[in-house]
Each structure stands twice: as structure tokens, then as C-alpha cells.
Amino acid sequence: MALWRYEHTLASAATLEGTSLHTGEKVSLTIKPAPEGHGFKFRRIDLADQPFIDADVDKVKTVERATTLADGPVKVHTVEHVISALTGMGVDNAIIEMDANEPPIGDGSARPFVELIKKAGIVAQKAPRKIWEIREPIHQETGDGCLITIVPSPTFRVSVTNVGPDGRFTQYFSSEVTPELYEKEIASARTFVYYEDVKPLLDKGLIKGGSLENAVVVRGNEVMSKEALRFPNEFARHKALDVIGDLMLSGKRILGHVIAVKPGHGPNTKMAATVKREYSRMRSMVPPIKIPSGEAVLDINDVLKILPHRYPFLLVDRIVDFEGDTKCTGVKNVTMNEPFFPGHFPGHPVMPGVLQLEAMAQVSSVLMLRKPENQGKIGYFMSADNVKWRRPVLPGDTLFIEAEVIKIRGSIGQTKVRCLVNGEVVSEGELKFALVAN
């Protein structure tokens, strides 16, 4: 859905009250709208100066049965459920205010937070949503048998295998993650604990808010719960819920398939740190690009007013720069969802060279049709000379198309154009076409 190409925040503030898991004290949590590019931030309104803590993997302090964030002495415990709910429901920017050091535990699932988000409402913002398309597998293993791998996928998908102590309650769950599927298939799965793990903590009075109303307790092979299991594989679904929340601490929405076997908060946050590091490494390989703002920049709606092309033949997403009347730069974001990939080397997707040539022609047309005397005309191809393709263009590449007018005589125009990916020329050519009244 085109709407989800843009960042989203909450339409209004909404408050949830309940009991905290570890202290058993009453806590009030309020989610509030936040500006574009803000991400998720927690705020401790019960402390002096009401400090913020970024929902960032660099702030992870401990991962003992839950994920804890800390900035100096300020801490927020058990953040994964509310972050998972915000992420799964399509929210990008939010402030999460609390008057204690952890959110209400609710029923041990993310469902109360989903209901809170729906109460607040979700609205689109103007900034394009930044999603990192995974193009090479990212893999990690730990000594306790946990492994997490993220592989390329046209959608965000999570597959989880839960393995309990001695192989008990081995379960599997897999689903694409969309707001609709998250709410229906993931959000209501409750946290679960093994009695032998929590008994020492119960004896010490360290889980004062814990009960069979907010967790499923496993004792031996017996499941103890206030209600029956909500799904036959509820444990695996809750692990998926945790994975979504913990991975979002990387600060990056991804397009990829997360495959996790025996995951936990420690491995999850370790993978979040890896995702953040790999994204930074990938970005460091891309030369800095200045994207100007103002009237010289044309978004997709402006491009549609100039070019007659429409899906699937419109190959320009945006014009990001003009230099006078003779040069301009367009952008084409190449994704795995392009209609030509299923049939063009489907086992090894490559953008067809002829479509790169078409993208060059479209940017050239924008450059010349933008002139007042040419408005309303159509540019028809006449010739393409000195065309060269230097390297493949793959899903995930951002194609920058630089066009320069080298000659205009009457209704005939000639341009020199090149396409670049990561600052490297991938194709180029000299184009000639006629400008004809529509």
C-alpha cells in the first residue's frame, strides 16, 4: 500500500495503566506523537528533568529475561513488548512516557499495547519511510544453540523455532509481518516462563507483579495458566513478538526474512547491534549525496505532471537536483518488487539494460519538457548512441540518473546521460529525441 511508504506516528496521545512485573507497583504509560525521523524514545516523567532514553541497541544494559535500556543511572525495563507493538502496527515515531521504570505487564502479551495504539490512531507523515533491503545473509550463532539468520526477502517475515529445556515445547511459527497479521497472529501471544527458572526469583520476592494472569508458567510438562493457550504454538509466536521488538533497537526497519532458532533477548539484541553495524558499514561505502530541497526538487506527483508514463513504465521516482536549464538528476529506487524481475533472470535478478536506457530518456524528457515552451509536449526517442553498460543493477540499488542537454535545435533535443549506483557509473549513453505536441 503506497500509504506505508511514508513514516507514521500516532494521531493522538493515549494512556494505559497497570501493574509492573518486577516491582508490582502501579504504572501509567502514555504513547504520544513524535516528529519525522524521531524514532522511539522512552521518557521517565517520574524523575527530575523527565529524561529521555533512546530505544537504541547501544543503550541496552541487561537482557536477563527482558530487555533493559539505560542512560547513566536512568533505566527502563522490559521494553520489548511496547516496541514490538509499535513496530508491528506500522508506527515509526513515538514518545513513550512512563511514571515508573517499566511498562505495565498487562496479560504478558503485546495486545494491550496494540489496543492502545488503535485508540490513539495512526497517521502518515511526509518523510519517506527508510527500509533497509537485506541483500546478503546476516548470520550469528551462540554457544547455547541459538542461531539467527536474516536472508533476502521481498517482505518482512519472521520464522521462529522455540526449544525449551530438554527439548520441551519445541514449536514453530512463521509469518509475514504486516499490521493486520501482527494484530491477528502475533500480538496476543503471552510471555511464558519455566518454573525452575523463576522459583529462585519468586523466593527472593523479585517478581512481585508476576501471576498466572500475565504469564504462562511451565512446570515439568504441565502448562499452568489462567486461561488455555491462545494458540497451539503460542510460545513460538511470543518469541517472534520479542524478536520484532528487540531487532527494532537497531533503529532500522528491514526488508528481509528473520529465521531464529531458540532465540532470546541476548541473541536478539546482539543481532540488532549487528544489523546497526552492517547498515553503517554499507552506508560508509556510499559517497555522500546532497539532496537539495526547494522548488528545484520534484516529487513523484510533480514527475507525473510532466511525463505521460505510468506504472509499470514510469522509471523515475524523483528529481533531486537541477543545475540551470541544462542539467538534472533523477532517482530510481530499484526494489525486488519491480515487475520485470520475475521474468528477467529470476534466479539472479538484474535490471534490464534497456530499462536503464528508458530511465535515462525519462529524466532527459523531464529536463526538456520542464521548459515553458515545451510544456504539454511528449518526447519520442529518435536514437541512442555510445550506449554502454558497465555493471549489473540489482534489487536494492538506488539508481541516480544524471542528464545534461548538449544540443537543442527546434523540436530536436540531444542529451548525454549516465546512471550511477554508489557513485559508480553503471550505464551511459547519448540520446536524441523529438518533442512533439500532445
Q: Which residues pair with 268 in a beta bridge?
A: none
Nearest CA to 365 out of 303, 422, 425 is that of 303
262 near 163, Cβ under 8 Å? yes
226 near 213, Cβ under 8 Å? yes
Is 22 annotated in the active site? no
Nearest CA to 42 out of 113, 82, 96 is that of 96
Give CA separation, 407 vs 58, 306, 345, 383, in Å. 54, 21, 37, 14
Catalytic residue among 8, 77, 344, 348: 344
- Tracing cell 546512471 back to the chain, one arrives at 419
Amino acid at 428: E
Is 81 annotated in the active site? no
Q: Which residues pair with 384 in a beta bridge?
A: 431
162 near 262, Cβ under 8 Å? yes
Pairing state between β 52-54 and 60-62: unpaired
Catalytic residue among 8, 77, 238, 265: 265
Residues for the chain: how many in total?
A: 438
Nearest CA to 18 out of 78, 107, 114, 89 is that of 107
161 near 235, Cβ under 8 Å? no
Alpha-carbon gap, residue 279 to 285, rounded angstroms: 10
109 near 265, Cβ under 8 Å? no
Q: Which residues are catalytic?
A: 265, 344
